Amino acid sequence: MGEFELLARLRERLPPPGSRVRVGSGDDAAVTVPGGATATSIDALVEGVHFRRETATLLQIGRKALATALSDLAAMGAEPGEAYVAVGVPADLDEDGCLELIDGILAVATETGTTLAGGDVTRAPALTLAVTVVGHAARAERLIGRGGAQPGDALVLTGEIGGAAAGLLLLQRPELATSVPSEIAARLRLRQLDPLPRLAAGQALAGAGARAMIDLSDGLGGDARHLAEASAASIRIDAAALPLAPGVAEVAAAAGRDPLELAASGGEDYELLAALPPDRLAAASAAIEETRLTRIGEVFDGKGVEVRLPGGAILEPTGFDQLG
């Protein structure tokens, strides 16, 4: 099948475009009328680096590619708008495989109100996805960067963490699954394979007065450090307050790992970490419907990130600094 034919078949699957899109996929470029401000981010996923076809279905790979890209928009408090996807197709991926991958992308697009407004398909030595997402806000000031945290701000976290790292352990070492009920094991694996971007929570936090926000892709330790550095502030996290996903403690114990390590250094939870004035906490909690908000620490003058352990000891969490 040629490129044009595949693109034509892909376009047949597209739902109607969003209200800002005047010309969708199929021309030299998509035409949109954004109004207000836009947040734009690009992310690439490469087979063997970010996913394996042995442990993830093509539908899941497509879903995760768009979901993780949208997580960057969630971290800005943006409303999702358009996505543009370049797919590099290896020789062993046939037409049906391409369509399954695109169906995964389209499923997340539909669930989140995102228009797949453009794309490119090419050959490649390994399955590769590059996803650009564009989100919207009424004004630039309503989009929340990493750099606005101020001393005295409360540090809050959406949802639960450690689940994606525990899910990865379960995928790599299936024998660990006996440590938790099968329903919990399945949920942990999905945290790794099929993450959901916290789009509504991100907009709620932005509306409630969050001053700095980031999504947890590298891990709480590393991403807190990004937020602290961008804000020229220090962050102290109370380990006892961290909301671990159900089963993380058990899987960590079975693997001989510290659950705190999975929570603080494991990546890909795609929860949101935000700093906001303490008097905005109640409003922020009330505005978030789909998950809970947990206060996990504070912002101080100074530099760096500390995690205070229950006994009083201090851990210096490390992020994942390697390429990839």
Does 122 contact a second copy by CB under 8 A?
yes
Q: Which two tokens stand for residue 78?
A: 């943006």
Report, in Å, the least distance between residue 234 CB and a second copy: 19
Query: Are 40 and 133 in contact, with CB atoms under 8 Å apart?
Result: yes
Among the candidate windows 138-146, 161-169, 180-188, 282-290, which touches a second copy by CB under 8 A? 138-146
Our finding on whether 138 is near a second copy (CB under 8 A) is no
117 binds a second copy (CB under 8 A): yes
**DSSP three-state, residue 107:** helix
- Taking the least distance from each CB to a second copy, the nearer of 40 and 57 is 40
The residues, any chain, with a CB within 8 Å of residue 5's CB and separated by 6 or more, are none
Over its C-alpha atoms, the chain yields an Rg (Å, rounded) of 20
| 6 versus 107: smaller Cβ distance to a second copy | 6
Closest CA to 211 of 288, 295, 152, 135: 152
Q: Which two tokens stand for residue 63?
A: 């879903």
Alpha-carbon distance of 273 to 149, in angstroms, equals 11
Distance in Å, CB of 138 to a second copy, minimum: 11
Mark the segment that binds a second copy (CB under 8 A) among 125-133, 159-167, 249-257, 305-313: 125-133
Applying CB under 8 A, among 279, 311, 312, 323 the residue interacting with a second copy is 323
Strand 234-238 vs strand 293-300: parallel, antiparallel, or unpaired? Answer: antiparallel
- Strand partners for 155: 275, 297
What is the Cα–Cα distance from 317 to 319, expressed in whole angstroms? 7
Judged by CB under 8 A, the number of residues near a second copy is: 72
Minimal distance, residue 291 CB to a second copy, in Å: 19
14 makes contact with a second copy (CB under 8 A): no
Binding to a second copy in span 142-161, by CB under 8 A:
143, 145-147
Restricting to residues 288-317, name those near a second copy by CB under 8 A. Answer: none
Instruction: Tell me which residues in 22-41 interact with a second copy (CB under 8 A).
Output: 22-23, 26-34, 36-41
Q: Which stretch binds a second copy (CB under 8 A): 4-12, 181-189, 273-281, 292-300?
A: 4-12
Binding status of residue 96 toward a second copy by CB under 8 A? no
**Among 96, 256, 279, 322, which residue sits at the site for a second copy (rule: CB under 8 A)?**
322
Q: Shortest CA distance to 298 belongs to which of 309, 287, 288, 306?
A: 306
Tokens of 186: 């399945």
Interatomic CA distance for residues 262 and 249, integer angstroms: 9
